[in-house]
Amino acid sequence: MLKILKGLVFFLITTGYIYAQDDFDCIYDKTTAKTNQQKLPGALKTADSLYRSSQDPLHKMKSLMLTAHLYQQQGDFKKAIYYAENADLLVNKVNDPDLASRITEFLARQYRLVGLRERSKKYINKGFETAKKIQDLKRYNETLGILNQELAHCEMELENYPIAVKYLEISLDFFKKAGTMGEEVVTAASYRLLGDVYFKHNNYIVSENYYKKAEALVKEESCLLGWIYNGLGGIRLKQKLWKEAETYLSKAEDIAEKYNHLDLKKMVYANINDYYEGIEDADNASVYAVKYVKVYEQINAKNNAFINGKLNTDPENNRNGEISIAKNIAIVILCIALGGLFIFFRSKQKKQRSKFRTIIRSQQKLTDKETKEIEESEFSNISVEEVDDKEKEIGKKRTESLMTPETEAKLLEFLNDFEKGNLYNNKNMSLPFLSGELNTNTKYLSYVINQHKSSDFKTYINRLRINYIVDKLMNDDKYRQYKISILAEECGFSSHSKFASVFKAVTDLSPSAYIKLLEAENQSDKVVHFQENN
């Protein structure tokens, strides 16, 4: 009888309307408590009921953020951001800067995780403004610590490590002022990030010290603990202490699998691949190479699906629509959606691999011939780097030749010889520079490039550079171990970002993804080695 009564009370809570302040707070607190994956559907129903029953904007905001956090636990970025954005729309109706700051922190983090860095920074800046209104000194310092931590994340993704360290040190100062050794998780997160930074600088002693500090503060199993174990395992790999590396990486893998955290899985699989390669276990190394590529593709698919999708902006209609659908129809739709998603991802994966193999075949054909004009269509979508010219290009396609046929033929011969070398990788390359090298003038050179290479000077140079580096990556193993910044410098680009944007425009892949797929493609001949933590 008691069980029946409990079930009835839960049903009334999750399906009916809740009006009392005490009831709201009680149910909200219970639902906010740690919820495992099995209990998420029930928690989402409770959050939905809280929202529908709430008349107070403050209650609506809390309900929306509760739903956002629950979807975050599921790894559904789109819905998590959707509900948080709608909570943010109610901020001006409620005088609660503490809750408003938590919303901006949440949105900044979620947008960073899906790769929308500028939108993340927008909410970080909004968070700094909101924090000025927080009267509680402890909460004020906590907020500034978390926001500086987010700035550090952004700088680390851009490989601006000294700036990232500065933000992390500022975050720890704020946590200390707030007395947040009681808020161990946020402090541990800053220590873990410092461990990551010093690891990338090969300072393994300092890196391990920060990882250990972070580990000491984390009292319960969590994804943060998984990141810490992965970092410690990475250090042991570098030190070739295989047994200790295996212990840490096994713990990290268990956590990554339990929480199904894709980014953590990706990093752990990369390290485990390195571990098996280090102990010369080729079979298991290949298994984790394949696991890595699959998770990498899952992350890309998920981020692309979010970026290309549109967020609904009407929470009331959306919720009422969900509630009105009968359960049996929902099950059918879910099955169809899952089937469609499976087909979509498989199709996308096949297309990406097909594109990859086409690039390799094309490059192989190019290396078999002394000269071959590259089809313009392959580069029609390149956003070419601005090569540093002090003068504007004068040469454009013209209907009449500027020179004698003999001069034109000789200059074309010079260009063909130029393509066989690698002078085009010179950082000082410009139209006047090359004209001087070929002992001609800019008008003649620009004309010949336009007429015979079907492009302007800048596109022509970038085209040669990308084909040069693709050839090196395909035929010289050591190039696959280089950092992207070194590859960019090798082929004459002035920055990592410009090189990456041109490379991705050509191949539909970032340089790092291209390297990993190239190695995975060759894994039957050679064990794949991923340089995730270099």
d(CA 501, CA 446): 25
Residue 479, Cα to own-chain centre: how many angstroms? 23
Burial 354-385 (b: 16+ CB within 10 A, else e): eebeebbeebeeeeeeeeeebeeebbeebebb
User: DSSP H helical segments within 387-456, as ranges?
Assistant: 405-420, 431-437, 442-452
Residues 6+ apart with CB under 8 A from 528: 273, 277, 285, 286, 289, 516, 519, 520, 522
Other C-beta atoms closer than 10 Å to the C-beta of 243 total: 8
pLDDT per 10-residue tile (average), the chain, 534 residues: 41 39 48 53 82 85 87 80 89 88 90 84 91 90 90 87 92 83 75 91 91 89 91 93 93 89 88 90 83 80 64 43 50 66 60 59 50 37 40 41 77 87 87 86 86 83 86 83 86 85 77 80 51 51
Conformation bin of residue 243: beta by default, left when phi > 0, alpha when psi is -120 to 50: alpha
Quick check: is 115 in a domain? no
Residues 6+ apart with CB under 8 A from 529: 273, 274, 277, 481, 519
Quick check: is 458 in a domain? yes
Q: How would you class 308 by CB atoms within 10 Å of its CB: exposed for 0-12, middle for 13-18, buried for 19 or more?
A: exposed
Counting DSSP H helices and E strands in the chain, the numbers are: 24, 0
pLDDT for the residue 342: 61
pLDDT for the residue 514: 82
d(CA 230, CA 271): 8
Q: What is the 3-state secondary structure (H, E, C) of 358-402?
A: HHHHHHHHHHCCCCCCCCHHHHCCCCCCCCCCCCCCCCCCCCCCC
d(CA 162, CA 26): 45
Q: Which amino acid is located at 229 in the chain?
A: Y
Task: Residue count of the chain, please give it.
Answer: 534
pLDDT for the residue 170: 93
d(CA 430, CA 388): 6
Quick check: is 313 in a domain? no
pLDDT for the residue 74: 75
Q: Which of 391, 455, 385, 459 lies closest to 427, judged by CA?
A: 385
CATH number for the domain spanning 453: value is 1.10.10.60
User: Domain count of the chain?
Assistant: 1
pLDDT for the residue 329: 65
Cβ distance 156 to 196 under 8 Å?
yes
Residues 6+ apart with CB under 8 A from 206: 198
Owning domain of residue 510: 421-526
Tokens for 439, please give them: 């002992």
Cβ distance 50 to 63 under 8 Å?
yes
Cβ distance 275 to 284 under 8 Å?
no
DSSP annotation of 201: T
Quick check: is 451 in a domain? yes
Quick check: is 249 in a domain? no
Quick check: is 140 in a domain? no
Quick check: is 19 in a domain? no
Quick check: is 118 in a domain? no
3-class DSSP assignment, residue 116: coil
